Structure 1
Amino acid sequence: MENQKKVLIVTYYWPPAGGPGVQRWLKFAKYLPEFGWEPIIYTPENPSYPLVDETLLNEVPKHLKIIKTNIWEPYQIAEKLSKSNKKYKGGQFDVGKNQSFFSKLSIFIRGNFFIPDARKFWVKPSVKFLKKYLKENKIDVLVTTGPPHSLHLIGLGLKKDLPELKWIADFRDPWTEISYYKHLKLTQWADQKHRQLEKAVFENADITLATSYTDAKNFRKNGANAYCITNGFDKENTSTPLSATEGKLNFTLSYVGVLEQLRNPENLWKALENLCKTNSDFAKDFELKFVGRVDDKILNEIESSVLKNNIRNLGYLSHNDSVQEMQNSDLLLITNFPSESSKGIIPGKLFEYLATGKKIISFGPTNADVETILSKINAGKHFDYTETNSVKDYIFSLYEDWKNDKPITNAANISEFSRRALSEKLAGLMDNLL
């Protein structure tokens, strides 16, 4: 790696962190050396992760340099007040009538006192530490990745002190445009502060990365030099798809990941209930599988319906086991926030879904980027949250194919979304900065 250029990646999520937040830069770190870049990771020594997956430690490249410093986070205090605070670390919220007094108080405190988020206490010590590190080591490019968006303030602080530093701000999710932003119960002052900081990041970063086409477009409107590099799939983590019915007794619809109240596809549950009530074969053959963490309120509602005997809830599994459960499914479910402002969100698991070759059913706003991808490569169907009959018809048509031993896999060309191809694209952007 002697002749390679060096990129310092500031990330909160790193193995053994579980969930989708860790995958993006773990995979970039794996493949960037093939394109002339040596990654160096800067991450907290003692983070408070909402999910842990020890198996991901096996995917960290053996010779990767990792620098760690201590972080102080207020979540331990918050969790003593209310167990539901564990959700907020992962950006989940109780909404509407489900909000307790402590939920409301915690959300208010989070949005107004911890700007941009509760990891803000790592910013100043990190700027101090990394300023010294950058002066003593030749680093060609700095990357900060959020959320948590406080990590972009580390980049902002370093850029102000070292203006010649090349800085890329990577937004895995938007900041003020994310759907739950409006649920933070912000005062006018806090809202302005969030927006000022976001604007400063957009205007000072040499490149702002977005994970969707719409987000990149919105970032450019707000003053950023923005490019889209989507998330992707790693060929080494996928196996050959099974045939439609090989070794399977059930027609299985699976949701893999965290399902929260703000992305609850109630119209899907209605469609499935209707199918079970009106078709005894479907009721006998159908399996609704959850892999990950499903909000208790959602789970309770489904378990109180006619679907209660069709549910298989496996809870949180390792990443490798989750991929295997995707393979052992017939139809994969993905959900997005319903608001128009969320149409640019492309969940990272979409690409792992695509790599399985299984059909995908998606819910979110009309003309979402997910819909664009699914339509372009004919890998499934996207619905908004008002449709029920068309959802029912789509699922039943796939069920009939399954029943008649017809393949319901897709053969989409998805090579552009491989982690290696995406790393090459990122390396090209960094090369152009120098």
Structure 2
Amino acid sequence: MKILVIATQLPPYIGSGNIRALNYINYLSRLGHQIDVVGVQYPKDAVAYDQNLENAFDDDVNVYRINPGFLYRFFYRKKDDNLDNYNSNSASINSTIKGKISVFIKNTIVIPDAFMLWIYPAYKFAKKLMKNRDYDIIFSIHETPSSHLVAYLLKRKFNNIRWVGYWSDPWNGDSLRNNRTVLKKYIEEKIENKIVRKIDKLLFTTEKTKNLYINKYGLNESKASIVFRGYDKKIYIDSMRKSKESLEGLQKNKLNILHLGTIYHTLRDISPLCAALDLLKREDIKLYNLLNIIFIGQFDNYEDQRKLQKHSNVKVFPLVPYEQALQYTAKADVLLLYGNKKSTQVPGKVYEYLGSSAIILTLLGDPQDELKNIMENVEKGPVILNNEKEIYLELKKLSEAYLNNNLNKNWMKPVDKYEWENVVKDLEMKLIN
């Protein structure tokens, strides 16, 4: 098949969603499909720009990058915008002038997202491709919604070509988008309704999101399916050959606990972990000192970072390149996995975690957290609610088991089901049917 992919979030930007799209594309190409991609020309001074991922796509994949427009400069963090440089009286990055401007624009002006001015130029370029090549499928990938708008315009022009859209999060049900103005929300709801009516197939990451769309838009269930994310087994094998000492922060003779990615204040509450560490320090200083907890990534609320850094056994590092992040994942003893509060979604990093030989300590955002269904069906570690008492008890159990060389070996096996090759074969069938 010839497939035209439309996506705003791709490498060389770092992020679980970007890596997911990369692997969907590369593995579809390896299955024999001809893939063209219309994406974004990212600014190289962005903190999320990873030079090592500039050649991440397979040679057979054609990637065309379109400038995102001048508005985008308000929305990305530059490499020198380090939270550690902010005054201690600053509650968060949003206290800066640029932060306030970007939040205002994001919540009131741009529709649907920061790539608003990319939509029409991307459509014009994709339209030229469509006229010269006989595509079988248009495949638009959210993150972010702008990709669906480009595909919608293409579908109106080339109605006979099958259009499949992927929703990584609910566009109008995403808790991170709750601060939109009433008018912006109303307009985006109208746009999404048109998209859903026009599209041939919708793909989602969870049953909750799929059911939300079926019920909200009265969809036929055959029009919606679930697809998964995955991990690259070869990369993990290569990463295991790296020395633990070469990774900053990891320590010998300590229980190394790692969290990768962004801590969104509204979704992931770190206060119970801080309280559990306070309690462990009072009750058993030996076990407290045995823990070496590392957070690699970003905080959208600076106060959360400050709370964690008050603990002597917690280290916070900025984003690292993707390959290095996987090395940390492969070398950690325990991976810390936060679920999302009041959300239909699961963190994309869960699938990378499932490829590791590390134990996973899962902290559910609430009792209905969709992550519970995944983690209770794989044997990778404790699955608990994100509260002080349960975290304290699990940290104590894990520390004692580590001291006695008695960590559960069954929790240290990768989950083969989520290797990328298996995941994308499933995706291939759902693109066709």
State TM-score, norm by structure 2.
0.86
Query: Which residue matches 2:256?
Result: 252
* Pairing 1:286–2:291 present: yes
Unaligned stretches of 5+ residues in structure 2: 83-89, 246-250
Q: Cα distance, 1:167 vs. partner?
A: 0.8
Query: Which residue matches 2:248?
Result: none
Query: Which residue matches 1:331?
Result: 334
CA 312–303 in structure 1, closer or farther in 2 if over 3 Å, else same: closer
Mapped to 1, the partners of 2:23 and 2:191 lie a distance apart of 28
Mapped to 2, the partners of 1:376 and 1:78 lie a distance apart of 38
Q: Cα distance, 1:62 vs. partner?
A: 2.0
Task: List aligned pairs for 1:182-331, cutoff 5 A.
Answer: 182-184=178-180, 186=181, 188-223=182-217, 224=219, 225-239=223-237, 248-262=252-266, 263-295=268-300, 296-304=302-310, 307=311, 309-331=312-334
What's the CA shift string for 1:132-188, capped at 9, x where partnerless?
A: 22121111101111222111111111111221121111112221111112133x1x2
Q: Cα distance, 1:384 vs. partner?
A: 3.4
Q: Cα distance, 1:35 vs. partner?
A: 3.0
Q: Percent identity?
A: 21
> What secondary structure does 1:222 align onto?
helix
Partner amino acid for 2:189? R
Is the contact made by 1:377 and 1:413 (CA closer than 8 Å) also made in structure 2?
A: no
What's the CA shift string for 1:390-425, capped at 9, x where partnerless?
A: 221112111111010013341557222111111111
> What secondary structure does 2:35 align onto?
strand
Task: List aligned pairs for 1:393-404, cutoff 5 A.
Answer: 393-404=393-404
* Pairing 1:358–2:355 present: no
Mapped to 2, the partners of 1:351 and 1:100 lie a distance apart of 34
What's the CA shift string for 1:361-402, capped at 9, x where partnerless?
A: 2231213221111111132233334x2212211121111110
Is the contact made by 1:10 and 1:143 (CA closer than 8 Å) also made in structure 2?
A: yes
Q: Cα distance, 1:234 vs. partner?
A: 1.2
Query: Which residue matches 1:378?
Result: 379
Mapped to 2, the partners of 1:303 and 1:36 lie a distance apart of 49
Is the contact made by 2:12 and 2:56 (CA closer than 8 Å) also made in structure 1?
A: no
> What secondary structure does 1:59 align onto?
coil
Task: List aligned pairs for 1:102-251, cutoff 5 A.
Answer: 102=97, 103=99, 106-184=102-180, 186=181, 188-223=182-217, 224=219, 225-239=223-237, 248-251=252-255
- Matched residues, number: 408
Mapped to 1, the partners of 2:91 and 2:146 lie a distance apart of 28
> What secondary structure does 2:49 align onto?
coil
Query: Which residue matches 2:5?
Result: 9
Task: List aligned pairs for 1:29-48, cutoff 5 A.
Answer: 29-47=25-43
Residue of structure 2 aligned with 1:63, choices 40, 60, 63: 60
Task: List aligned pairs for 1:405-416, cutoff 5 A.
Answer: 405-409=405-409, 410-411=411-412, 414-416=415-417
Is the contact made by 1:31 and 1:419 (CA closer than 8 Å) also made in structure 2?
A: yes
Partner amino acid for 2:28? L
Q: Which of structure 1's runs of 4+ aligned residues deviate more than 4 A?
A: 46-50, 95-99, 101-105
Partner amino acid for 1:414? V
Moved more, 125-134 or 152-161: 125-134
Is the contact made by 2:166 and 2:204 (CA closer than 8 Å) also made in structure 1?
A: yes
Q: Let me know the Cα RMSD of the aligned residues.
A: 2.9
Query: Which residue matches 1:21?
Result: 17
Partner amino acid for 1:337? N
Mapped to 2, the partners of 1:412 and 1:320 lie a distance apart of 21
Query: Which residue matches 1:424?
Result: 425
Mapped to 2, the partners of 1:78 and 1:325 lie a distance apart of 28
CA 171–105 in structure 1, closer or farther in 2 if over 3 Å, else same: same
> What secondary structure does 2:298 align onto?
strand
Mapped to 2, the partners of 1:182 and 1:66 lie a distance apart of 33
Unaligned stretches of 5+ residues in structure 1: 88-94
> What secondary structure does 1:111 align onto?
helix
Mapped to 1, the partners of 2:320 and 2:405 lie a distance apart of 30
